[in-house]
Amino acid sequence: AQSVSQHNHHVILSEAASLELGCNYSYGGTVNLFWYVQYPGQHLQLLLKYFSGDPLVKGIKGFEAEFIKSKFSFNLRKPSVQWSDTAEYFCAVTLGYGQNFVFGPGTRLSVLP
């Protein structure tokens, strides 16, 4: 069965530091990839997604992610984090249309002012 792993359980950064959150999946076929964010007290929101084409995907709030097929990875990046980026981040994979999502365990990001 496919699975998704996220490298870090909890990341603590100072404002203006660069961010990279790792995500790896275990399926060799065509996948759709997503990053979701859950801010404290709010529901899950989509940050960005990759279906096909340019492997470097830009999302909302200055986030981007790069799909590296050979490494089965879809890492999330942001060059300079803000305190408001404090949230939990989930990587997710689906095999395509009509297929259910598989989520990673999540990475909690704490940004110190």
Partner 1 sequence: SQTIHQWPATLVQPVGSPLSLECTVEGTSNPNLYWYRQAAGRGLQLLFYSVGIGQISSEVPQNLSASRPQDRQFILSSKKLLLSDSGFYLCAWDGGQGAPEAFFGQGTRLTVV
Name the site residues for partner 1 (rule: CB under 8 A): 9, 32, 34, 43-44, 46, 49, 51, 90, 92, 94, 96-106
CB 89 within 8 A of CB 7: no
Instruction: Find the shortest distance in angstroms from Cβ 42 to partner 1.
Output: 8
Please say which residue, 41 or 113, places its beta carbon nearer to partner 1.
Answer: 41
Query: Least distance in Å: CB of 21 to partner 1?
Result: 13
Q: Kindly state the smallest distance separating residue 52's Cβ from partner 1, in Å.
A: 12
* Rg, C-alpha atoms of the chain: 13
- Residue nearer to partner 1 on the CB measure, 14 or 30: 30
Q: Least distance in Å: CB of 6 to partner 1?
A: 8
For partner 1, the closer of residues 83 and 101 by Cβ is 101
Which helix (H) or strand (E) is 84 found in, with range?
none
Q: Provide the terminal-to-terminal Cα distance of the chain, rounded to the nearest Å.
A: 41
Which amino acid appears at position 47 of this protein? L
Q: How far is CA 63 from CA 20, 32, 51, 109, in A?
A: 10, 18, 17, 14
